[in-house]
Structure 1
Amino acid sequence: MFSKRIAVLAAFSTVLSTGAFAADIVSAQEVIPVFSWTGAYVGLNVGFGGGKVKYMDPAGHGTLFSVTSNGFLGGIQAGYNYQIDQWVVGAEADFQGAGIKGEMDMGGATIGTKIDWYGTVRARAGVLATDRLLVYATGGLAYGHTKTYIEDPFGMGFSESKTKAGWTVGAGVEYAVTDHVSLKTEYAYTDLGKARIFEGSVDRKVNFHSVKFGINYKF
């Protein structure tokens, strides 16, 4: 009789301990944090850009000539993301210092155009490939400062600066390394529109491609 009671108590104790162990497992699973993209962020980026500068007849007779431009860029960005299930939407603004320049020799004189700086204000929308890997598209307003100049061998020259607005569109990939730090790669096409320069004698159009590598800190 005594041995039966011991056996019953041992079995009851085993059931309780097993249940407690299972509860511990469920509890541990419940407290595992899930990463969320929702929140504000700031960051830095560097990259490279290049494209075409077209000089056109203002009378509408087509392109007179075009120059290939290229150069490095770098700047800052800030934005806000909001996650809805596997989708992430948000907005981002950035500002870039740039040295994207294209020049052409014209019978001893040099004509060139340089993008000194530019910025964008864009919407972003993407889907999560994993909980920490975001693939997104982006697009919106672009604005920038350009300078077109003519230099000759005798040190004489002329330049004209313009600040113009246009548009930009692109796509990128961003990976959250930690809960606060993410790395991204982004491609964009930017069009800063057309400007009439040199006392109305030439229309100039600036557009370029860029690839940027950045790091963000999420608050």
Structure 2
Amino acid sequence: MKFARSLAIGVVSALALSAPAMAQDDASSSGPTTNWTGPYIGGSLGYTWQPNTDREKNERIGFDTNNDGNFGDTVSTIGGANAFSPGFCRGFAKGGSAADGCRGDRDGKVGWAVHAGYDMQMGSLVVGGVIEGGRSLVSNSVSGFSTTPAAYVMTRKLDWNAAARLRAGFAVPTGTLIYATGGVAYGKFENAFNTTNTFNTFTESNRKEHDWGWVAGGGVEQKVSDNFSIGVLYKYTRFNPNDYRVTAGQGTPPSLTNPFVITPSGSTTFARTNDRFVTQDVRVTASFRF
């Protein structure tokens, strides 16, 4: 997060300091044109992180014990007690007991993307569209602990991501464009399950997910020549990946006291209670304009 703030402040300061020089150049007719109309290609590099909202902090693993698609069931021992009474924590379990706790999620990663777009200027108004794709590898986990004792960890990672965004803004005579942007986002997710339970069998489904979401944000861009511009961009992106499932089955030899199979369906299916995956980005952008 400190990196993101430093990055944004540094780029905005650089753009602000360059504006007077750009204005001088324009005044002497030797600087870059202030017309933004035309196609462009480029890339971005910066910092991607996830917000620590209550939704993320209070996430649990949900259980479906009767195969009805409802993940609000309680896994009970043969004596009727809650088999997951030790509780849950956000992050990756440090060991097989709740007393071991969890390692916090690494909420921030360096991310990159490439982009291509087209702008059209009408007076001081600039409108256009851009498509982009890249990686950030942001991930998060949730862990549960059973009375066995054993730990169960579900992890979700955003592998590749892409977006198609519209943008609209205002151009000023210094060769600066200030804009808002928004559109459709696409994410390719990888899911994983880890457990210290060596008795039961565990079957995963939808380990790789593809999800559509939305993105919104804004930025500032500065022309440094007729064909080159740099800027800073902030984006908020939301996905809802919720197809990943893990099903616990009977071990060998079968046990009549196994809490995962003394259920109406003879098995227990796991799912994450938080189906929202949110990222925020601060990126430095560079574009070559044709």
Q: Into which bin does the TM-score normalised by the smaller protein fall?
A: 0.7 to 0.9
Task: Please give the secondary structure, in 2, of the residue aligned with 1:195.
Answer: coil
Q: How does 1:62-211 map to 2 (within 5 A)?
A: 69-107=107-145, 108-152=151-195, 160-198=207-245, 201-203=270-272, 204-211=275-282
Contact 2:171–2:177, Cα closer than 8 Å, also in 1:
yes
Give the 3 Å change call, closer, same or farther, for CA 40–55 of structure 1 in structure 2: farther
* Bigger radius of gyration among the two: 1
Task: Please give the secondary structure, in 2, of the residue aligned with 1:99.
Answer: coil
Q: Distance in 2 between matches of 1:39 and 1:48?
A: 28
Deviation at 1:65, TM superposition (A): 6.9
| Worse-superposed segment, 183-192 or 156-165 | 156-165
**Amino acid paired to 2:156:** T
Larger RCO (CA under 8 A, 6+ residues apart): 2
Q: How does 1:27-46 map to 2 (within 5 A)?
A: 34-46=33-45
Deviation at 1:125, TM superposition (A): 0.2
Contact 1:120–1:140, Cα closer than 8 Å, also in 2:
yes
Between the two proteins, the alignment pairs up a number of residues equal to 189
Q: Output the TM-score relative to the length of structure 2.
A: 0.57
Match of 2:283 among 169, 190, 212: 212
Contact 1:172–1:187, Cα closer than 8 Å, also in 2:
yes
Give the 3 Å change call, closer, same or farther, for CA 192–56 of structure 1 in structure 2: farther
Contact 1:70–1:102, Cα closer than 8 Å, also in 2:
no
1:176-204 deviation per Cα after TM superposition (whole angstroms, max 9, x unaligned): 11111111111111011242321674253
Give the 3 Å change call, closer, same or farther, for CA 37–110 of structure 1 in structure 2: same
> What is the CA RMSD across the aligned residues, in angstroms?
3.1
Q: Output the TM-score relative to the length of structure 1.
A: 0.74
Q: Distance in 1 between matches of 2:285 and 2:167?
A: 16
1:97-145 deviation per Cα after TM superposition (whole angstroms, max 9, x unaligned): 2211123444444332110010000100001243411110000000111
Give unmatched runs, 5+ long, in structure 1.
1-28
Q: Distance in 2 between matches of 1:81 and 1:130?
A: 17
| Worse-superposed segment, 79-88 or 66-75 | 66-75
Give the 3 Å change call, closer, same or farther, for CA 55–98 of structure 1 in structure 2: farther
Give the 3 Å change call, closer, same or farther, for CA 175–162 of structure 1 in structure 2: same
Task: Please give the secondary structure, in 1, of the residue aligned with 2:138.
Answer: strand
Q: Distance in 2 between matches of 1:139 and 1:171?
A: 8
Deviation at 1:147, TM superposition (A): 1.5
Q: Distance in 2 between matches of 1:93 and 1:201?
A: 36
Q: Distance in 2 between matches of 1:38 and 1:217?
A: 13
Q: Distance in 2 between matches of 1:82 and 1:55?
A: 48
Contact 1:71–1:101, Cα closer than 8 Å, also in 2:
no
Contact 1:115–1:147, Cα closer than 8 Å, also in 2:
yes
1:19-65 deviation per Cα after TM superposition (whole angstroms, max 9, x unaligned): xxxxxxxxxx899984310000000111221225656757486xx87
Higher strand proportion: 1
Say whether residues 1:50 and 2:119 are aligned partners.
no
Q: Distance in 1 between matches of 2:142 and 2:164?
A: 32
